[in-house]
Amino acid sequence: MFYRRKSYIVKSDFVEVFNKHFNETNLPNQLKRGAKLVGRWMHQNDEETTCVFAIWEYDSYEQYVEIETTIKADTSHVQRIQDWYDSLGGRENVYKNYILEVKNERLESTLL
């Protein structure tokens, strides 16, 4: 099994918009390609920001790469993402004013 943690630091007033986008756009696309969502959580980071993160499970690292490659080649999905950014003033604006940090991390088990 391969696990990854995708985390974001977002402005707290953006959390509702961000979570809606995940649930309506990203989650269904990942699931239909074979990714398994272990869970998605958030916690208040400070007065202005919130940490939102998900843990994903794949059969292997190779499956993860295959799913990500397929998603990036899906032109209708890529267009939906672009439309979402455009509705918020463009990708650069979103990453400047709403999504302040993104991490995509491989998780390794500590169990024997």
- Over the stretch 32-59, which tens digit does the pLDDT of each residue have? 999 999 999 999 999 999 999 999 999 9
Q: Please list the alpha-helical segments (H only) found in the chain.
A: 15-21, 27-33, 61-73, 75-87, 91-97
Buried/exposed 40-61: b ≥16 CB within 10 Å, e otherwise: eebeeeeeebbbbbbbbebeee
Distance CA 12, CA 55 (A): 21
Domain 2-105 sits in CATH 3.30.70.100: yes
Residue 1 — pLDDT band, cuts 50, 70, 90? very high
Summarised one tens digit per residue, pLDDT across range 77-106 is 999 999 999 999 999 999 999 999 999 999
Q: Break the chain into its structural domains and give their ranges.
A: 2-105
pLDDT of residue 88: 97
Q: Is 59 helix (H, G, I), strand (E, B) or coil?
A: coil
The model's pTM:
0.90
pLDDT of residue 8: 98
Residue 112 — pLDDT band, cuts 50, 70, 90? confident
pLDDT of residue 31: 95
Distance CA 52, CA 19 (A): 9
